[in-house]
Structure 1
Amino acid sequence: MNPWLMTLVMLVAWGVFALQITVKLGALTKMAPENRLNEISRRIGRLFKIGFGQHKLIGRSRERGSGIMHAFIFWGALLVGVRELTLMGEGFVSGFQEFLPLLGSDSWLGFAYISVYNVGEVVVLTMILVALYRRLVSKTARLDLNWEGIYVLLFIGMIMLTDLLFDAARLNLIEHYEQQLHFFESTVYGSEWEWAPFTVLLASVLNGLGEGANAFFYHFSYWGHVASMLIFVNLLIHTKQFHEMTALPNVFFGSLDYPHSIPPLADLEDESAWEEGRIGVSKLEHLTWKQGLDLFSCTECGRCHDVCPTFVTDKPLTLKRFNQSLLQHLRNEESTLFRTGSTSEDKTLVGEIIRPETLWACTTCRACEEVCPVSIEHVPRILGLRQNQTMMEEAYPPEMASTFKGLERNFNPWGIGFDQRADWAEGLNIPLMADAKSETEGQPPEIDVLMWVGCAGSFDSRNQKIARATATLYQKAGVKFAILGSEEKCTGDLARRSGNEMLFQMLAGENVETLNNYKIKKIVTACPHCLNSIKNEYPQLGGEYEVFHHSQFIAKLVDEGRLPVGSNLKDTITYHDPCYLGRYNKEYEAPRNLLKHAAGEPMREMKRHGSESFCCGAGGARMWMEETIGTRINENRTEEAIRTGASTVATGCPFCMTMISDGIAAKGKSESMQAKDVAELVLEAVEAV
């Protein structure tokens, strides 16, 4: 080859690349700071599992075929990365691979490497044909048909094909290569090319063309490969394929605490932030650098489309489009952002880049994040935008005005007098924490757990029945428990999810003060939203407690023999996984184990269940907003439950209970189907023993 030409090509190509990548990465450094370098060992573990192991692609039951296809393309690309070192080195020194440690012809690893990359290139070519078929022929709905995606696949195919052609032509040009060159010689393993079956096959095809043709293919394929690779590297920076460079870092820098908790997102004590409108996110530079990296890392695979309850029911929010809109804005502004630290135009993200109805459609269910192969964190970004809209612009859905007022005045979204919070417990003889403390003369009350009732259990007539059933189970098991009564306030979950961080911190701070005053250590609640807030977000405000969902606590009582449960229910049951219990807190088995104890026959699982469950539509404060666009999310979910043929839809969330019950009524199935909480079904089974 020509080392001088190779030097010139490399300097030009990598010089242009360095200029481009400096602007992009420099723009990220001008965005809001965020610490993502803690617990390096855990991050490395994530990188190997999700990044190199492609866990989110091949670990899902749905679309596993396409996931495996992409995983092979990814693994093949990693092999090509190593292969490129040897090929680029060939431009300077013939037989460059021999000089690399462990990859020479006298090493078993060198033989294995040749075999794997040879087979890998053919596998990648095959997967590219499959990918082209999915785009051009079968036209998979979640995939956009555009030339960018096509030419990226063609470029990758060209890189693979020219490499195979180069090796095949080189093989034909070396006469008696095993004797003449050490590079192709081994006394232990035989010719290294015996380990490259596809190269040998292609060489046999080219062999009949003569030495001149093979010499042409040798030089043409080499420089064609180098040109394709270097052009591709410089072009992909401006395409969605930039994720090939950012995806692995994005996985590595993923939050280790999220989804269990989200950061406050706004510094409410910073007066300058209020004056400058930096509460929440209104402009590009208000996003954190990790959120900017998220945008660069989006593969536009559309997996978030398939699982998003808003997209499935024809709402305006499509997270792929959401990302694309912000990414295009970032691309337009990255140079200015890098130079000046701010965007050139006074463009607000909501209203000019993102439509308000798009922002407020999200239920924060995290189904999108569960399936994202590069671990993009969508929900915190959406909440940051909502914070600015709510606290700075007062531009929230009009229905939320009365909800906020109810939370501010009576500490519940209905606005019912807080003095009525314990009325549901009338006749059950449940002690109040205040009374229990007075009996112990100021010492911590002698109780096993605090029963956190939540707003729905306290004020909603249907969910009051669940609270009574839960309390009855505790009493039957001999649990020493108490409630806060009128001292309990909304945890603030819906305030935080609707962007009212100030209201969340007020409610949460008062609850933490009350709980700490009673020296509470263990809390049980029937509401996954309360569970998530108290367990995972209250520690930000000084509240450290051991918190359980009631299904977890009841399951423990059953296992200890304190609640005799017989399999004597007549119900045929399907179970709906609440998002904030499942995807947020990874609890899928406790409710199911209880239902297996109580049911007379096996459960009938819905197709979308467990980590792939479908949202009921109530999360993200959507419970308190009107749903006027598209079909109703809860009805979509209810239709799936109806298809199981079950007579009872069990759940473990008061909001899910409301949404599923409404869905059953809307579908005219109230006579043949009912929604029940796990605790209600267990109580029926206990009382039937």
Structure 2
Amino acid sequence: MILGLAGTAVAVALAGRRVLFLWKLFTSGQPDPERILQVKRDPKADLEGQVVEVMGQRKLLKWTASGLAHFFVMWAFILLISVYLEAAVALLFGPDAHIPGLQTWGPIGFVQDTIALLCLAGLVTFAIIRWKNSPKKLDRTSRFAGSHLGGAWLILFMIFNVIWTMFFLRGAAWANGNLAYGKGAYFSYLTGQAFEGLSHDTLEVLESVGLLAHIYVALVFLVIVVNSKHLHIFLAPLNVMFKRRPDGLGAAQPMMSNGKPLDFEEADPDEDVFGRGKIEDFTWKGFLDMATCTECGRCQSQCPAWNTGKPLSPKMVVLELRDHAFAKAPYILASEEQREKFTDEQKAAMQVDKPLVGEDGVIHPDVLWSCTNCGACVEQCPVDIEHIDHILDMRRFQVMIESSFPSEAGVMLKNLENKGNPWGMSEMKRLEWIEELDFEVPVVEDKVPEDAEYLFWVGCAGALEDRAKKTTKAVAELLHIAGVKFAVLGPMEACTGDPARRLGMEFVFQMLAQQNVETLNEAGVKKIVATCPHCFNTLANEYPQLGGNYEVVHHTQLLARLVEEGKLVPITPIEEKITYHDPCFLGRHNKVYKQPRDIMAKVPGVKAQEMHRHKERGFCCGAGGARMWMEERIGKRINTERVDEALGTDPDTVSTACPFCLVMLGDAINEKKNAGEAKESLEVVDVSQLLIRSVKGEGSPQGEKEPAAAE
């Protein structure tokens, strides 16, 4: 008892000291009151998150083998607390003491032994996965590249020690007559057979040794956990509790300073925080994210930048920020008087003067500007780390304070400021597509016409880019055929500001957004249909931050409903094999996966063929995060990688539902055609273009079944 209590006191003191340090570090971050308020507003959502994400391991189980292994190990941690409760009773009151009911009911022993064995199976699975996916074998294709591998193996070894000491203790206890579960604890019973024939005194010694070994392993494990990446055992439920809760990734967060949205008109450069220029600028939730990372590499394995040879790994961004935060923590937590006493060597060790972003900084600029905001990292993260928010906040400081960003993006920003679109074209050109239609499209002058159900938000690409104009005209025709009344803003429409916001130029975003919100509100707009997922996401999820609250639908959602209601009837077969590419801002950001596929499914003759990476695991086209206006100079082009995957399905057509994707995939396919690697007839089209062909009787280019359809 003395040895057990002494060891417990030492371990708890060491662990408590670390926890206190972490608490001080986290609370030194910027305030983020909304995280607390959302839990108070909707405790039911938090409970659901704990049940589904933490207890149910929803995201982990998407990867079946490793997911099941983690499921069993996690539940072993929870259920085997009862074994440690028994150990505490034995330590304090003697090995023959039992809690009535808990330590005498056979089914409990059965559950304890079973979960312990499943945990062992999980450990073996983890070991095999780590061996097969070792960075020494696979280099950067391993999701564990960059992770602290030694620490992971140590944790597996410690969990193994927990299990074998448990069975050693229970086997000796059974042989000594002190395990009251009988044969219900079947594996403990079998282990006890190995101790049969030993004297009572020997068994008492073995039981005491087993008891102390089992307790000491747990105490050492506790100290290791609070000083390692396995801190997620305790922090993951908290991170899930305080995560953002959109349906999908939703909006980019507004710029916050001292817990409040930043007001550019009243901002004080000396008092306010503009993005993240140093580690102290991160919120307490940012620090929680850093400490919660499990280094599993799922985000890294899905990242389009990492998969095409670029330096961005979402995992490594979080780990580098975490390591920097821990290194600088003594300086952050010190008083001004204490800071003055630090020597230059101490400051260098604490990375006091190390820039957050820079050639010699914590995060290299190439890492920061490789992100497409696709959301694959956030979607896959089993502990709900918000990588995109942190990358975007660091971009904001670089753009707005340091004026440091890819030069070609500067042209885009100037065009947005001066002309209201990324290409710098005249606002009057926004109406040219209407001239190619054979029916009238109402243009809003002051108010939306009373009979117009929707405002059709055409978007910059939809109005000004030739390939995207085809989508615009197809959607307009389909709405006209279905009898849906709509109007457009024409010259009054300006860019939603998405490229500026995703680049990090929040000021330009707010300027454009406030202008548009004022226009929409004065026009009395209630319902909007948009063809661009970036516009759709911004209008639906980000404009409410500025007082713009509208019912916004993507054109695939509206068209799918019109087809379902029989207002649009696709009758002419399109005898083509078609593979669909999920736009990131439609799919992962807004969970719209079903409707584009529903449209294709209703078109006769279409043979849909999914790419390997689709829906929530879809692969980016490379245009998001303002990358549409930046050169891709490192590694393989993301759009080329995606088209290579599309070509693997041997399609006649590649379909999508985003003008950015249309351009990026189209460019890559043209390169493939020029190189003789794709058939000349291959094209990229929006799903609305497929639908209009079938509805209007144009069918397949071959026209094989058009007469029958017409008949």
Per the normalisation by structure 1, the TM-score is 0.92
Paired AA for residue 388 in structure 1:
F
Which residue of structure 2 lines up, in the alignment, with residue 152 of structure 1?
155
Three-state SS of the structure 1 residue aligned to 2:92 is coil
Contact 1:657–1:676 (CA<8 Å) still a contact in 2? yes
Partner of 2:71: 71
Q: How does 1:31-180 map to 2 (within 5 A)?
A: 31-34=29-32, 35-37=34-36, 38=38, 39-58=42-61, 60=62, 63-94=63-94, 98-99=98-99, 103-105=102-104, 110-136=105-131, 139=134, 141-143=142-144, 144=147, 146-174=149-177
Q: 287, 290, 300: which is aligned to 1:305?
A: 300
Deviates more, 1:228-237 or 1:275-284: 275-284
Bigger mean CA deviation after superposition, 357-366 or 602-611: 602-611
Paired residue for 2:219? 230
Partner of 1:627: 632
Match of 2:707 in 1: none
How far does residue 124 in structure 1 lie from its aligned partner after superposition? Answer: 1.0
Q: Please point out which of 288, 291, 296 is paired with 1:296.
A: 291
Question: Secondary structure of the residue that 1:422 maps to in structure 2?
Answer: helix
Label 1:447 to 1:137 Cα distance change in 2 as closer, same or farther (>3 A).
closer
CA gap of 1:624–1:203, structure 2 versus 1, over 3 A, is: same
- The superposition leaves residues 286-339 of structure 1 with CA deviations (integer Å, 9 ceiling, x where unpaired) of 111111111111100111121110111010101121111111112112343334
* CA distance in structure 2 between the aligned counterparts of 1:457 and 1:138, rounded to whole angstroms: 44
The verdict on how the C-alpha distance between 1:269 and 1:145 changes in structure 2, with shifts beyond 3 A counting, is closer
CA RMSD of aligned residues (A): 2.1
1:253 corresponding residue in structure 2: 242
**SS of equivalent residue, structure 1 residue 655:** helix
Paired letter, 1:264: P
Aligned to 1:558: 563
Between the aligned partners of 1:251 and 1:584, the Cα distance in structure 2 is 18
- Is the aligned partner of 1:471 residue 2:476? yes
Structure 1 position 375, deviation (Å)? 0.8
Distance (Å, rounded) in 2 between the aligned partners of 1:663 and 1:443: 40
Once the two structures are superposed, residues 486-535 of structure 1 have per-residue CA deviations (whole angstroms, 9 ceiling, x without a partner) of 10000011111000000001101100000000110110011000000000
How big is the shift at 1:276?
5.3
Deviation at 1:50?
0.6
Give the aligned partner of residue 187 of structure 1. none
Q: Partner residue of 2:432?
A: 423
Aligned partner of 1:350 among 350, 353, 357? 357
Contact kept? 2:623, 2:664, Cα under 8 Å: yes
For the Cα contact (< 8 Å) 2:562–2:568, is it kept in 1? Answer: yes
- Aligned with 1:99: secondary structure? coil
Asked whether the 8 Å contact 1:397–1:625 carries over to 2, the reply is yes
Determine the C-alpha separation between the residues in 1 that align with 2:211 and 2:466: 75
Q: Is residue 263 of structure 1 aligned with residue 253 of structure 2? A: yes
How far does residue 430 in structure 1 lie from its aligned partner after superposition? 3.9
Corresponding residue to 2:419 among 410, 423, 432: 410
Contact 2:4–2:212 (8 Å) recurs in 1: no
Cα distance, 1:40 vs. partner?
1.6
Aligned mates of 1:534, 1:215 — CA distance in 2 = 72
Range 329-338 or range 304-313, more displaced: 329-338
**Do residues 504 (structure 1) and 499 (structure 2) align?**
no
Q: Tell me the distance in 1 between the aligned counterparts of 2:572 and 2:68.
A: 41
Residues in 2 aligned to 1:29 and 1:611: alpha-carbon distance in whole angstroms = 34
Once the two structures are TM-superposed, the CA of residue 560 in structure 1 deviates from its matched residue by: 1.8
Deviations 1:591-626 (A, max 9, x none): 001001114043111111111111111111111110
- The unaligned stretches of length 5 or more in structure 1 are 178-182, 185-191
Contact 2:69–2:121 at 8 Å: present in 1 too? Answer: no
Paired letter, 1:195:
G
2-side partners of 1:511 and 1:534: how far apart? Answer: 10
What's 1:573 paired with?
A: 578
In the alignment, what sits opposite 2:456?
451
How many angstroms does 1:213 deviate by?
A: 4.8
| Matching residue of 2:403 | 394
Q: Which amino acid aligns with 1:193?
A: G
Answer whether contact 2:448 2:525 (CA < 8 A) is retained. Answer: no
Change (3 A) 1:443 1:551: closer
Q: Which residue of 317, 341, 354 corresponds with 2:312?
A: 317
Identify if the C-alpha distance between structure 1 residues 90 and 687 changes in structure 2 by more than 3 Å, giving closer, same or farther. Answer: same
Q: Residue 632 of structure 1: CA displacement?
A: 0.8
* Worse overlay, 532-541 or 82-91: 82-91
CA 658–272 in structure 1, closer or farther in 2 if over 3 Å, else same? closer
Whether the 8 Å contact between 1:33 and 1:288 is mirrored in structure 2 is yes
SS in 2 for 1:275: coil
In the aligned structure 2, how far is the partner of 1:364 from the partner of 1:375?
16
The separation in 1 between residues aligned to 2:56 and 2:469, in whole angstroms, is 46
The CA distance in 2 between the partners of 1:653 and 1:670, in whole Å, is 23
Moved more, 206-215 or 584-593: 206-215
Runs (4 or more) in structure 1 with deviation over 6 Å come to: 341-344
Number of residue pairs the alignment of both structures matches: 660
Tell me, in whole angstroms, the C-alpha distance in 2 between the residues paired with 1:551 and 1:138.
40
Distance 2:448 2:594 in 1: 37
Q: Which residue of 1 aligns with 2:259?
A: none
Instruction: Name the SS of the counterpart of 1:536 in structure 2.
Output: helix
C-alpha distance in 1 between matches for 2:555 and 2:448: 26
Contact 1:89-1:96 at 8 Å conserved across structures: no
Counterpart of 1:188? none
Tell me, yes or no, if the aligned pair for 1:277 and 1:392 is still in contact at 8 Å.
Answer: no
Verify the 8 A CA contact 1:531 1:549 in the aligned structure 2: yes
Q: In the alignment, is the contact (CA less than 8 A) between 1:444 and 1:518 conserved in 2?
A: no
Displacement of 1:259 in angstroms is 1.6
Distance in 2 (CA, whole Å) between partners of 1:17 and 1:427 is 71
Tell me if the contact between 1:469 and 1:683 (Cα under 8 Å) persists in the aligned partners. Answer: yes
- Alpha-carbon distance in 2 for matches of 1:642, 1:377: 33
- Whichever residue aligns with residue 303 of structure 2, its letter is C
1:180-203 deviation digits (Å, cap 9, x = unpaired): xxx72xxxxxxx221111101111
Q: Which moved more, 1:129-138 or 1:23-32?
A: 129-138
Kindly indicate whether the alpha-carbon contact (under 8 Å) linking 2:65 and 2:125 is maintained by their aligned counterparts in 1.
no
Identify unmatched segments of 5+ residues in structure 2: 136-141, 257-261, 340-349, 698-709
Letter of the structure 1 residue corresponding to residue 251 of structure 2:
S
Letter in 1 for 2:695: V
Q: Deviations over 1:173-230 (max 9, x none)?
A: 12xx6xxxxx72xxxxxxx221111101111123255545533432222111211111
Q: Deviations over 1:8-34 (max 9, x none)?
A: 322222122111101101111110111
Query: 1: CA distance between counterparts of 2:116 and 2:85?
Result: 16
Paired residue for 2:706? none
Structure 1 residues 497 and 41: alpha-carbon distance in aligned structure 2, compared to 1, 3 A threshold: same
Secondary structure of residue in 2 paired with 1:92 = helix
> Closer, same or farther in 2 for the Cα pair 1:561/1:536, shift >3 Å?
same
Equivalences for residues 527-566 of structure 1 within 5 A: 527-566=532-571
Q: Paired residue for 1:373, among 357, 362, 382?
A: 382
CA deviation map 1:400-436 (0-9, x unaligned): 110000100111111111221111211434434434x
Q: Which residue of 2 aligns with 1:485?
A: 490
Task: Indicate the larger mover: 236-245 or 425-434.
Answer: 425-434
Separation in 1, partners of 2:222, 2:268: 40
- 1:96, distance to aligned residue in structure 2 (A): 8.9
1:681 matched to 2:690: yes
Q: Distance in 2 between matches of 1:146 and 1:482?
A: 58
For residues 428 and 52 of structure 2, the distance between their equivalents in structure 1, rounded to whole angstroms, comes to 51
Match of 1:204 in 2: 193
Query: How far apart are residue 559 of structure 1 and its match?
Result: 1.6
Letter in 1 for 2:419: N
